Every structure is written in C-alpha cells, then in structure tokens.
Amino acid sequence: MLNGHCECGRISFVIDGEINQLSHCHCSQCRRLHGAAYGTFARVTKKQFQYLSGTNDIKEYASSSDLKRFFCSNCGSNIMVTVNDEPEQLYLAMGIIDGDPITPEPFHIFVSSKAPWHSINDNAAQFDEFAPE
C-alpha cells in the first residue's frame, strides 16, 4: 500500500499495488501548474486508488478539452490528471506520494516544449510529445 496527501493534509489517499508508469512531462501547462521545470506523474489504475479524506476540498480544472487536473482548494497541491481517452488510468502528481515507492523506468514527454533554462541530464528516454504506448 502506498499513501499520499496534499501539503495541508486535507486530501489523503491510498494506492493498492504498484505504480505502472512514471513520466516527466515538460509541456508548458505542467510547468506552470507545478511551478517547476516539469511535472512528474505516477500512473495507477482507477481501481488501485482510493481517497481517504478531503474529497470536498478538491477542485477541478480542465486544462484542455481532454484533460482534467485536480488540486487541493486549500493549499494548491496538484493531486492528479485524468485523460478522457484513458478512463481507467489516473496520473498522480508523484510529489504527493509518500516514501520511496517502486517505480518503472521513468521517461520524458513533451521534450519539444521543455523550458529553455532546463537541461535534461539523465539517460531516460525522451519523446517530443506523448510516449508511444
């Protein structure tokens, strides 16, 4: 079991099982919304995920017609992204998951729109847009 919570602690959740994909997204939306060089996402299936508290504190923002982003209305922590075409998967903000979970090899996506002031200095695979499935 993996646990996680937002910065203020109102929203908490548990994940039953392992993260099935780990990606670093360099698109401009993730950079702005995470206030960082990129957003890191842990993909889990909807069935693995359960909120423990704070569902009334969650706000939703549609950053495009097929993406919804969920965040804490009290502290602003990013919680997850959902993709309309992938209803069974959740893309959790990796930074809100506790501890040192086992993860698949990470990769970089939307490298074509990465911040000009940031250099990728690892050997993980890079894709200009989405990774091929």
Applying CB under 5 A, which residues contact Zn ion?
6, 8, 10, 25, 27, 30, 72, 74-75
* Amino acid at the residue 85: D
Report how far residue 25's alpha carbon sits from residue 109's, in angstroms, rounded to the nearest whole number.
5
Q: How far is the CB of 37 from Zn ion (least distance, A)?
A: 12
Q: How far is the CB of 94 from Zn ion (least distance, A)?
A: 13
Q: How far is CA 4 from CA 91, 93, 100, 121, in A?
A: 13, 10, 11, 28
Q: Which is nearer to Zn ion, 17 or 130 (CB)?
A: 130
Q: Which is nearer to Zn ion, 9 or 104 (CB)?
A: 9
Q: And the tokens for 52? A: 């423990």
Q: How far is the CB of 86 from Zn ion (least distance, A)?
A: 14
Q: Which is nearer to Zn ion, 72 or 90 (CB)?
A: 72
Q: List, in order, residues 6 or more apart from 14 with CB less than 8 Å away.
A: 1, 2, 3, 4, 49, 50, 52
Q: How far is the CB of 75 from Zn ion (least distance, A)?
A: 3
Report how far residue 80's alpha carbon sits from residue 39's, in angstroms, rounded to the nearest whole number.
11
Q: Which is nearer to Zn ion, 26 or 44 (CB)?
A: 26
